[in-house]
Amino acid sequence: MPAPATPPPRDLHALFDPASVAIVGASADPAKWGHSVAFQALRAGNRRPVHLVNRRGGEILGRTVATSMAELADPVELVVISVPAAGFESAVDDALAAGARALVAITAGLGELGAEGEARQQAVLAKVRAAGALLVGPNCLGLADNTTELYLSSDPFPDGRIALLSQSGNVGLELQLRLARQGLGFSRFVSLGNQADVSLVELVRDCARHPGTDTIAVYAEDFRDGRAFAAAAAEAAALGRPLVLLAPGGSDAAARSALSHTGSMTSPTAVIDAVCRDSGIHRVATLRELAVVLSALHNRSRATGRRVAVFTDGGGHGTIAADSLEDAGFTVPALSDEAQKAVRTALWDNSPSANPIDLAGLGEQDPLCYARGVAALLGSDEVDSVLMTGYFGGYSLGDFGDASAAEAEAAAALAAHAAVSAKPVVVQSMYPDAPSCRALAQQGIPVFDATEDAVRALAALTPPPVSTGAPLPLPASAPPTADDGYLASRDLFAAAGIPFVPAVSACTEEEVLAAARRLNAPYVLKATGLLHKSDAGGVALGLEDEEELVAAHRDMTDRLAPPGFSVEQMADTRDGVELIVGARQDPRFGPVLLVGLGGTLTEVLRDTAFALAPVTRAAARALLEGLRAAPLLHGARGRPGVDLDAAAEAVARISRLAAAHPEIDEIEVNPLLATPRGVTALDARIVLGGSGGVTRARS
Amino acid sequence: MPAPATPPPRDLHALFDPASVAIVGASADPAKWGHSVAFQALRAGNRRPVHLVNRRGGEILGRTVATSMAELADPVELVVISVPAAGFESAVDDALAAGARALVAITAGLGELGAEGEARQQAVLAKVRAAGALLVGPNCLGLADNTTELYLSSDPFPDGRIALLSQSGNVGLELQLRLARQGLGFSRFVSLGNQADVSLVELVRDCARHPGTDTIAVYAEDFRDGRAFAAAAAEAAALGRPLVLLAPGGSDAAARSALSHTGSMTSPTAVIDAVCRDSGIHRVATLRELAVVLSALHNRSRATGRRVAVFTDGGGHGTIAADSLEDAGFTVPALSDEAQKAVRTALWDNSPSANPIDLAGLGEQDPLCYARGVAALLGSDEVDSVLMTGYFGGYSLGDFGDASAAEAEAAAALAAHAAVSAKPVVVQSMYPDAPSCRALAQQGIPVFDATEDAVRALAALTPPPVSTGAPLPLPASAPPTADDGYLASRDLFAAAGIPFVPAVSACTEEEVLAAARRLNAPYVLKATGLLHKSDAGGVALGLEDEEELVAAHRDMTDRLAPPGFSVEQMADTRDGVELIVGARQDPRFGPVLLVGLGGTLTEVLRDTAFALAPVTRAAARALLEGLRAAPLLHGARGRPGVDLDAAAEAVARISRLAAAHPEIDEIEVNPLLATPRGVTALDARIVLGGSGGVTRARS
């Protein structure tokens, strides 16, 4: 299903291609930000007027400095504000008075410092919005747009086709260094700062439409509206501009305070992983991985499957690469006799050709064989991509005479073969900086010095094994529920179409006996109105007859004095699989669905899958089939398979229920018994959101 | 328990420090191996006589070439043989006739090519052994010993303290390039080749005693005697020379052909992991990781726990490092108020000090704060190691004036603080090649350009969370068993002290009923003599009375006509955990023990742990406690814990049984029911090894 229709993004033209610029707080002191930004801004020469403003006036970098915005004759479209926090408001006022359409606020000490700063920031925002202007920051490190020669950050960002949106300055600096080695650079750089006005989401949407940008790189600890971010990323991917996300720092504090299994297992990082999987986002964990994936995406080919040919000039490198690929979920299939023959024809008969394919010494004699080998492998319908590994590059460095020229020729031929193939080629080389490797990289074949980088790059060029599709829009909210007791929870699930095991409420011994007569033995007796009724000894299973039921009722009454009981028919779990299906309200992403292996093993095995709720039945089924325990659902070792359609339908219904009830913090059915004959909920729990904290559930 | 006592290793003096050397097959053609080895050998100058031999005579590299070994006046202690395979035997004969004590056979085309070559190799080996000489190779790429100026490989290996034993030439070449960036080099290099005589194990044992070696690096696809390798590595670690192993290419073919759960889950790579864990071996998967761990081990400090302080000059880098550490099983604990105060005193009040600790801009003003911060953190008893990450190094590169000198001073002070601390410090820097970073590396503080490398390095300096101790010696073999039927298997386990659920063999309906009267209901009926009796429908559980038992007997007789039955008392599994305990004969490592979560979830969840059998009860307990399902054993969510001592004792007994029966290929109890009252085996299977293949089990 497509991403929800959203209004077109705001026009950020004043931010990325202003007619004129002023830098308020420009400084003559090279240690100050106001100096380096001024220095960078002036690099653009005559592209647009750049005014330097400092209340002390004087001269900076050979330019006369205005003492105030008012002194400037013409209106200024974009104003950089790099003044101490005390002067922030008046600098904004002056800029807006001078007609500014966009502000880049480097000034720190506002919203990031707590309530007082946040109030000041809000007041400024109101003025900016009233003036119809844009504000980046405050507390940001500037921005740059190489496609419009707009340089408003303290460092130069080399030209290229990656848009970087970052909450950290040093992160941008290191990424710059890493990408430079691959010959890659930036179309834009925006330091996000406090996102008071212009948000990450807005910037992603704008970059998704930016002709100078191929790929969007994001370093963010704070997404603001997580669903809008996911939708913007999915939109960018659909527009051919994939987003690579480095999002560290998911705190587990929320998970630790949760009251349900679902809550405690829904970690922030698991939620982000699920969002990325479904929104086409490439998630990375480190700057090295970020650079590797960005390099990979520069290769325009994409693999359609996970079968890789490993092509090597040394047995060790080939074996190491094959192992690393298999660890990463790829296969390195043995080639058919026919395919092997084609490979040996391109190489020589000495070459092991089963896969890995080994030149076996031919490279030294005939560097062009590298190109012939890759061409033969790209031409085989038995593999989806090629990983070349080992020495290539070395012939253009050492004292190999003609081999150096031949290797350069091989690089050109290899790149030409790859260009006409739809399949990606990635390279690991001992000599990634050798001229022939640099030539490959320039032709879009990424070259890395480490096997794991080449494998990671290939992963970025290969579709993930499971995706449930872009997030669905949230439904309208249902009338809120105020009762989170066990019986009310059951009613809520039952109204949503989740079948429950037959049960009757009761209180006295007589009522319990009467209830039993409406059910079949064996029975289950649950004390209601207790937090964690299982742990408290408030659940008795497998009561064979009325005598045992009465004994259990007396025992619980003595020990726990609960306000009531639920007498239930014990389900036959023998040919079933116990699932957990739940959802939690995530502060950034809203309702998040969890499915997993349930019952007593739930938290021990943590075999879980997540998606933003609601999900379709097809997506629910994909989640279930992605569990480690999926073979149990399909029927393993003589056991029958469960009714997966019914299970998926129940999961989809629970996801819609959660999405329609934002007042419910945590909601779960555990276990949901899935059998060949359908599904039955055996227990349920909801936790209502309280003001300033969660309300304790009573069940 | 210590590794088994083994005889002292052979004296390899003639190999690593011969009095004289001859190179047979020395060549004037720079493209030939016999040329580059001769060139390298002559680098040592007058250290020892080096004779070049080629039947064509003439001159090579300015030296007169002898046409045969016989032509040389003096005996030669070490002879390198680099002739075509056809001339191999006569070259060996000539060398031995000339008194050679050590041969380095570069010649390829022998044992690696199949039976005929293997026979030739064996015949040569017999002559070498008869002469009391040593042989490295054939099919090797030479050796080098920088501590004795012996250069007998085609490439120079820079001097250092790492001994590299490798089955691949290019692997050695890439490692060389990688370590050179860290200023590290080699004490020795040996290309293993076919290991006809001198084996990997022998070389490890020799390097473990080599004063010039600090660390042993091994690239091996073939360990030969895996237990001896493990013992040699454990011995090397005990002698202060840790071994780092890159061992790719574990084929899963053996696992695919296995008949038991144990067999199919015992992958070659899982076995190597277990061996490494218990023998103090650092296992790595790629050359990059190999170089990182070798760099790390150059740091002589070791952490005693997994609590890490992250020290950064930029929020992004700190957060990324903290996440990466937690993903790798470290903790990044919040520091106490007291510890935070000490950190802020060393830095400034602006510094976030909870952990990660952030300089928050102090670095630019005062590079010495890096050293003060590290010192304060090393002094805290709340952390076991320090990971510093970010910009450090940059001040000695850019235009920072005094900052460059101050950073050099900070590097020296930081190294001095680390030297007096027992705790390791590792560094990630954007500028790892900056002078101050190089200075740190020279002082044993490894500096990496990637966060994941710094984290991996710290892992190498931190004890693994679980180890069961060095492998025990194999016991004497028990009288072999020839019957792998179900009943015989039960008897074998029972004799080893594994309690079984009460059971009686039966055949006719009358015998089945008689058996039932000796047991308590409910019953289990198993058809014996069937392969995969569960899958075939040959197991009926939960037969409530004699009527159901008889019905099951009739049904199985009709469907399966089995040779017999076992009538068993159904175990009460409600408060128990079903385990799988088994062992498999591994071709390289002998009997390998598996413990895991058993029952229907066994192969789905693959929650398993491995060790070389036999194991002590303590080791068995450690394996059980290392399972993901360990919380179930300890009692989770209101369930009682199981009798872990009894479970561990049963595991140890089964491991001894497997070790005493080399004729049994696969042996397993599944499930072994562990309850608070002890353990009971509910089913068992053995698979006997056949000639040229496994004998199918009948149970």
Q: What is the ipTM of this complex?
A: 0.90
To test the contact with chain B by mutation, choose from A154, A287, A451 the residue with the greatest count of B C-beta atoms within 10 A, namely: A287
Using a CB-CB cut-off of 8 Å, the residues of chain A touching B314 are 168-171
* Cβ–Cβ < 8 Å for A351, A344: yes
Q: Which of residues 400-439 of B touch A (CB under 8 A)?
A: 430
Q: Is the pLDDT of residue B171 over 60?
A: yes
pLDDT for the residue numbered B266: 75
Inter-chain touch A221–B319, beta carbons under 8 Å: yes
Give CA separation, B23 vs A294, B152, B620, in Å: 50, 9, 53
**How close, in Å, is residue A173 to chain B by CA atoms?**
8
pLDDT for the residue numbered A3: 44
Which of B285, B317, B638 lies at the smallest CB-CB distance from A323? B285
Beta bridge partners of A448: A428
Using a CB-CB cut-off of 8 Å, the residues of chain A touching B156 are none
Give CA separation, A461 vs A370, A377, B191, in Å: 22, 17, 37
pLDDT for the residue numbered B2: 41
pLDDT for the residue numbered A250: 61
Are B510 and B401 members of one domain?
A: no
pLDDT, greater one: A538 or B643: B643
In a domain, B648, yes or no: no
In a domain, A358, yes or no: yes
Which of B166, B289, B391 lies at the smallest CB-CB distance from A170? B391
pLDDT for the residue numbered A504: 92
pLDDT, greater one: B109 or B213: B213
Using a CB-CB cut-off of 8 Å, the residues of chain B touching A171 are 314, 316-317, 320
Q: A553: domain CATH number? A: 3.30.1490.20
pTM: 0.92
To test the contact with chain A by mutation, choose from B33, B35, B170 the residue with the greatest count of A C-beta atoms within 10 A, namely: B170
Are A448 and A538 members of one domain?
A: no
Inter-chain touch B248–A323, beta carbons under 8 Å: yes
Are A440 and A507 members of one domain?
A: no
In a domain, B373, yes or no: yes
H-assigned helices in B443-567: 451-460, 486-495, 509-517, 546-560
Chain A: residue whose CA lies nearest to B327: A285
* Cβ–Cβ < 8 Å for B21, B51: yes
**What is the per-residue pLDDT across B67-100, written as a single tens digit (0 to 9) for each?**
999 999 889 999 999 999 999 999 999 999 999 9
Please calculate the CA angle B425-B426-B432 and round it to the nearest 5 degrees.
135
**What DSSP string describes A135-162?**
EE-SS--EEEETTTTEEEESS---EEEE
pLDDT for the residue numbered B256: 53
To test the contact with chain A by mutation, choose from B601, B606, B624, B670 the residue with the greatest count of A C-beta atoms within 10 A, namely: B601
Are A341 and A445 members of one domain?
A: yes
B607 touches chain A (CB under 8 A): yes
Coil, strand or helix at B232: helix
In percent, how much of chain B has pLDDT > 70?
94
pLDDT for the residue numbered B697: 32
The whole-number mean pLDDT for each consecutive block of 10 residues of chain A, a chain of 699 residues, reads 62 97 93 90 92 94 93 93 95 96 94 89 97 95 96 93 92 92 94 95 97 97 90 94 88 58 78 92 96 93 94 90 93 94 92 89 88 96 96 81 84 94 95 94 93 97 78 90 88 93 92 93 89 77 91 93 92 87 92 90 84 95 93 79 96 96 93 95 87 33
- Count: domains in chain A: 3
Beta bridge partners of A312: A358, A389
pLDDT for the residue numbered A531: 65
pLDDT, greater one: A582 or B692: A582
Question: Of the residues A122, A140, A158, which one is the last residue of a structural domain?
Answer: A140
Using a CB-CB cut-off of 8 Å, the residues of chain B touching A317 are 168, 170-171, 174
Are A438 and A361 members of one domain?
A: yes
Which of A169, A249, A574 lies at the smallest CB-CB distance from B323? A249
Distance in angstroms (rounded) separating the CA atoms of residues A16 and A150: 7
Q: What is the mean pLDDT of residues B628-632?
A: 88
Query: Rounded mean pLDDT of chain B?
Result: 90
**How close, in Å, is residue A637 to chain B by CA atoms?**
6
Are A385 and A451 members of one domain?
A: yes
Q: A124: domain CATH number? A: 3.40.50.720
A625 touches chain B (CB under 8 A): no
To test the contact with chain B by mutation, choose from A112, A171, A174, A637 the residue with the greatest count of B C-beta atoms within 10 A, namely: A174
Question: Of the residues A545, A569, A593, which one is the last residue of a structural domain?
Answer: A569
Confidence of residue B33 (pLDDT cuts 50, 70, 90): confident
In a domain, A224, yes or no: no
* Nearest-10 crossing angle of helices A369-378, A402-420: 20
B171 touches chain A (CB under 8 A): yes
Q: What is the mean pLDDT of residues B57-65?
A: 92
B168 touches chain A (CB under 8 A): yes
In a domain, B223, yes or no: no
Which of A173, A219, A535 lies at the smallest CB-CB distance from B638? A535
Are A312 and A453 members of one domain?
A: yes
Which of A170, A313, A537 lies at the smallest CB-CB distance from B314? A170
**What is the per-residue pLDDT across B572-600, written as a single tens digit (0 to 9) for each?**
887 889 999 999 999 889 999 999 998 77
Confidence of residue B46 (pLDDT cuts 50, 70, 90): confident
Q: Which amino acid is at B39?
A: F
To test the contact with chain A by mutation, choose from B287, B327, B332, B573 the residue with the greatest count of A C-beta atoms within 10 A, namely: B287
Using a CB-CB cut-off of 8 Å, the residues of chain A touching B169 are 314, 316
Distance in angstroms (rounded) separating the CA atoms of residues A142 and B58: 72
In a domain, B285, yes or no: no
In a domain, B209, yes or no: no
Are A307 and A434 members of one domain?
A: yes
* Cβ–Cβ < 8 Å for B362, B369: yes
Chain A: residue whose CA lies nearest to B166: A316
Question: Counting one residue from A and one from B, how many pairs have CB atoms under 8 Å apart?
Answer: 161
Are A510 and A381 members of one domain?
A: no
In a domain, A110, yes or no: yes
Spell out the SS3 assignment of A303-360.
CCCCEEEEEECCHHHHHHHHHHHHHCCCECCCCCHHHHHHHHHHCCCCCCCCCCEECC
Q: A317: domain CATH number? A: 3.40.50.261
**What is the per-residue pLDDT across B487-497, written as a single tens digit (0 to 9) for each?**
888 999 999 99
Are A456 and A516 members of one domain?
A: no
Q: Which of residues 59-78 of B touch A (CB under 8 A)?
A: none
**What is the per-residue pLDDT across B545-564, written as a single tens digit (0 to 9) for each?**
999 999 999 999 999 888 89
Confidence of residue B136 (pLDDT cuts 50, 70, 90): very high
pLDDT for the residue numbered A360: 84
Using a CB-CB cut-off of 8 Å, the residues of chain B touching A247 are none
Distance in angstroms (rounded) separating the CA atoms of residues A377 and A343: 7
pLDDT for the residue numbered B49: 95
Domain residues for A562? 502-569
* Cβ–Cβ < 8 Å for B650, B579: no
Query: Rounded mean pLDDT of chain A?
Result: 90
* Cβ–Cβ < 8 Å for A261, A580: yes
Question: Of the residues B431, B460, B489, which one is the last residue of a structural domain?
Answer: B460
Using a CB-CB cut-off of 8 Å, the residues of chain B touching A246 are 320
Using a CB-CB cut-off of 8 Å, the residues of chain B touching A398 are none
Inter-chain touch B605–A629, beta carbons under 8 Å: yes
Backbone angles phi, psi at A321, to 5 degrees: -65, -40
Using a CB-CB cut-off of 8 Å, the residues of chain B touching A313 are 170
Inter-chain touch A601–B638, beta carbons under 8 Å: no
pLDDT for the residue numbered A268: 82
Are B434 and B514 members of one domain?
A: no
Using a CB-CB cut-off of 8 Å, the residues of chain B touching A283 are none
For residue B434, give both structure tokens: 């900056």
pLDDT for the residue numbered A466: 67
Are A456 and A508 members of one domain?
A: no
Q: Could you say which DSSP state residue B7 is in?
A: P
Using a CB-CB cut-off of 8 Å, the residues of chain A touching B155 are none
Give CA separation, B665 vs B474, B487, B597, B607, B650, in Å: 16, 18, 21, 22, 19
B450 touches chain A (CB under 8 A): yes
Name which of A252, A192, A246 is nearest A224 in CA terms: A192
Inter-chain touch A170–B317, beta carbons under 8 Å: yes
